[in-house]
Amino acid sequence: MRAEAVRAGPAAAIERRPASRTSTLYLFAVPATLLFVVFIAYPILWVAGQSLYVRSGSGASSFAGFANYVTVLGDPTFWIVVRNMLLWGVITIPVQMLIGGVLAYFIERHTHALRGFFRTMFFLPVVTSVSVISLVWVQIYAPYYGIAQEYLKHVGFVMMTSPIGDPKMAIYALIIVNIWQWTGFSMLMYIAGIANLPSEVLDAARVDGARGWRLAVHVIVPMLAPATKSLLLLGVIGTLQTFPIVHLMTGGGPNRASEVFGTFIFKQSFVLGDTGSGAALSVIVLVVALALSLLQIVTLGARLTPAGKERP
Amino acid sequence: MTPLARSRLRSTVIHMVLFIVLGFWMIPQVYMLSIGLRTPAQAFDAALFTWPVTFDNFVTVIRDNPLGGIFLNSLIVTVATVAIVVAVSSLFAFACAILRLKGSLFLYTTLLTTLMVPLASMVLPLAILLKNFGWVNTYIGLILPYAALGVPFAMVILKSFLEDAPRELFEAARVDGCNAWQTYWHVALPLVRPALVFVTIWQFIVTWNEFFLALIVLTKAEMKTLTIVPMQYSGLYMANPGALFAVLTLIALPLILLYVLVQRAFVRGLLAGAVKG
């Protein structure tokens, strides 16, 4: 975010008007502010406050300090969730970037007539309802009648049960579904980045003898850094809000092995009705998200927009 | 080999590889359609394709289920959300980028933090808030939270477009006697059209497919949206995968078709600089 105020000019002239009319100009900002206050800020403050209270059996709540946090952090499931979220982020984000980036490179630089076709087809999983996707993949993974096991058998990969029914494999099986659904998004962000590369730089690199692999790795990849940073930032937030795929495919099981923050919060808050620890969990996720985002913005200069090139 | 022949060969190979990768990539969708087109006898075959195909499943599920009503619920929630997001975020972006209202930069930065908030951490407080408002099982109970979560992203993009627009145009509008509202409507909005189109399409996709909050807020059958009904059908049609996958295909289809129709404008908006910071 740049300092806007220093840039004066014609626009500043619009501002110079009688005070009575200036105040009506604030109406432009009121709706967004109201939505933010009522549906974002207030709920966050409420959940932060609620995380400090416990509800007794009779329904009355009493102040409990950090008791909810102690309970949550002492719950072994919490640490399974942390491990799963780490795996999720560490696998999903780079794999999506890699596949998405390679697809974007070949589609953008080596196709012409079919460019729109490829861009659209690889993006379709993103626009397909996640609940539909989840049920289709349950069927794919299923033993006996699912196609994954049937076809993997031919390449010597034999499974006895559904991978989502196996505590060791469940989280990886879910990660594959997530990667499949969102790679098209990474691809499109990189396509935007590649299409906006300044042609002078590419021409200069070509004159210097960089082509093919070397052009891609030494010139294009570094120049796509803004898109990569945005994808990293969006990937971290996306990881923390993972819910539908896990909820629909394993429900966090078997035996809580594939539990993620979303399903854990859902269970504590809406299945068990324990709003205290649900609130504490919500706050933890929120703090982790804000901390990781700020860390990236400060250290990498990442942006919160989908991709990006440096502005002049 | 001449350079021309070599480049032609390379292009052919790259296209072939892309088609092969795409073939694998499309397996889940092809599989879904394929099961939907099966007879009960073939439904549990462990194969990607079976023959012959039948449309009986589609006829059955359309006849037996109120898909039209569910579709309408999704449409109402989505269209209203998109309209609010576009209106509210463009007004706010105009206040920040063109009017430069005092304090608007602070507000902008504050609203930006929304982008870092995972929905998972908002579901519990929003559920309580909506319950207190009496908005459980209402359209408005989804529309306003969706709008609040969508505005910051749209606002970033529209603000960046407005800042890149030629300032002389706004100056000229002022000289011609336009007030702020007229400048917003007649100058700013037409200038950022590609961005508005991009924001509209993206917000449409996100809202249409949102699952977590819809699951919590919509519990009455007649209020449910398309994304949350597949779970019910997976129980209903447990012994009849043909019907289940027919209904899943029908649920996924509207947005896929819509995206295919608008993808050109969507990508154009993205390339035109919806991607700037």
The complex scores an ipTM of 0.89
Whole-number Å distance between alpha carbons of A46 and A281:
13
A154-186 burial, b if ≥16 CB within 10 A, otherwise e?
eeeeebeebbbbbeebbbebbbbbbbbbbbbbb
Give the distance from residue B27's alpha carbon to the nearest chain A alpha carbon, in angstroms: 10
Question: How distant, in Å, are the alpha carbons of A7, B60, B125, B230 from that of A266?
Answer: 47, 34, 12, 19
Give residue A287's pLDDT. 92
Superfamily for domain range B69-231+261-274 = MetI-like (1.10.3720.10)
Q: Count CB atoms within 10 A of the CB of residue A67.
A: 17
Radius of gyration of chain B (CA): 24
Q: Which of A28, A135, A188 sits opposite B230 (nearest CB)?
A: A135
A285·B121 Cβ contact <8 A: yes
Please check the confidence at residue B163 and state whether its pLDDT lies above 60. Answer: yes
pTM: 0.88
Q: Which residues of A touch B275 (CB under 8 A)?
A: 189, 192-193, 196, 227, 305-309
A63 membership: H or E segment, kind and range: strand A61-63
Q: Is B128 on the interface with A (CB under 8 A)?
A: yes
Q: Which of A46, A106, A311 sits opposite B277 (nearest CB)?
A: A311
Give residue B227's pLDDT. 87
Q: Is A255 on the interface with B (CB under 8 A)?
A: no
Please name the residues between 197 and 256 in chain B that touch chain A, using a CB distance below 8 Å: 205, 208-209, 211-212, 215-216, 226-231, 234, 241, 244-245, 248, 251-252, 255-256
Q: Which residues of B touch A192 (CB under 8 A)?
A: 267, 270-271, 274-275
Q: Which amino acid is at A139?
A: Q
Question: How distant, in Å, are the alpha carbons of A101, A168, A192, B2 from that of A211?
Answer: 17, 44, 21, 18
Estimate the crossing angle of helix B3-25 against helix B27-36, to 10 degrees.
50
B46·A10 Cβ contact <8 A: no
pLDDT tens-digit series, residues A210-263: 777 778 888 888 888 888 988 998 899 889 989 999 999 998 878 888 999 999
Q: Is the peptide bond before B52 cis (omega within 30 degrees of 0)?
A: yes
Give residue A312's pLDDT. 31
pLDDT class of B165 with cuts at 50, 70, 90: confident
Q: Is B26 on the interface with A (CB under 8 A)?
A: yes
Q: Residue A159: phi, psi to the nearest 5?
A: -120, 145
Domain ranges of chain A: 10-50, 70-300
Give residue A299's pLDDT. 84
Whole-number Å distance between alpha carbons of A183 and A133:
14
Q: Which CATH number fits domain A70-300: 2.40.50.100, 3.20.19.10, 1.20.1050.10, 1.10.3720.10?
A: 1.10.3720.10
Selection from A30, A242, A295, A290 nearest residue B117 by Cα? A290
Please check the confidence at residue B250 and state whether its pLDDT lies above 80. Answer: yes
Domain ranges of chain B: 3-54, 69-231+261-274
A53 membership: H or E segment, kind and range: strand A53-55
Mean pLDDT is lowest, of A16-30, A272-286, B23-37, B138-152, for: A16-30
pLDDT under 50: residue ranges of chain A: 1-13, 15-16, 19-20, 306-312
Q: Is A96 on the interface with B (CB under 8 A)?
A: no
Give residue A234's pLDDT. 87
